[in-house]
Amino acid sequence: MLYPVMESFYTLQGEGFYTGAAAYFIRLAGCDVGCVWCDVKESWNANEHPKYSVNDIIEKVLIEVNYHSISNKTNLPIIVITGGEPLMHNLNELTKALQQNGFKTNIETSGSSALSGSWDWICLSPKKFKPPIKENIVLANELKIIVYNKQDFKWAESYAKQVNSHCKLYLQPEWSKRELITPLIVEYIKLNPQWQLSLQTHKYINVP
């Protein structure tokens, strides 16, 4: 199995439930959702990026997280598989290998393709351009709605009604409109405290 990898890097998770946690990101190329405000449009075409075997990917992860110098393997960084739309690829082999090395696997997905892989945490970020498969919605540990305009609050609630009762709910301003949207989210959460605010903190502190 070969995976088109646009980039991979060791940093901190900047968004959602795991904000601030050490995280190794694997950004897979290929996307059939096509959000107009996407900040990684260069990931859309899988043919423009090199393909790597699972062994190649694992070797790079182990080197870059300094795996063999970590004495307590229960405290490894999380691995975040993102995209593009990562579920365009069968992720069974990759996630199995990561978990065999002791990593917890997280995915950030629109949920618009069939679920594959073994996951410790599923962050569902549905998009209007291609909605998630119903079966994926109930499996989400985290629902992250990108708020672009006022109408997105009602849209967010429509998904909050579909997720399981333990799913964490986040509203995140679209980056280019953050100055306008963030105050609206703050006021909305004060009236609807089942939601929490997610910010792209990695952009504020200038890390990948």
pLDDT tens figures, 12-56:
999 999 999 999 999 999 999 988 888 899 999 999 999 999 999
Residue type at position 132: P
Task: Quote the CA–CA distance of 84 and 112 in Å, as a whole number.
Answer: 12
CA distances from 33 to 94, 131, 139 (A): 22, 9, 20
Q: Taking the model in full, what pTM does it have?
A: 0.96
Domain limits for position 124: 2-204
Overall domain count for the chain: 1
Using pLDDT thresholds of 50, 70 and 90, give the confidence band for residue 171. Answer: very high
The CATH code of the domain that includes 64 is 3.20.20.70
3-state helix, strand, coil in the chain (%, to 5): 35, 25, 40
Q: pLDDT-derived band of residue 152, with 50, 70 and 90 as boundaries?
A: very high
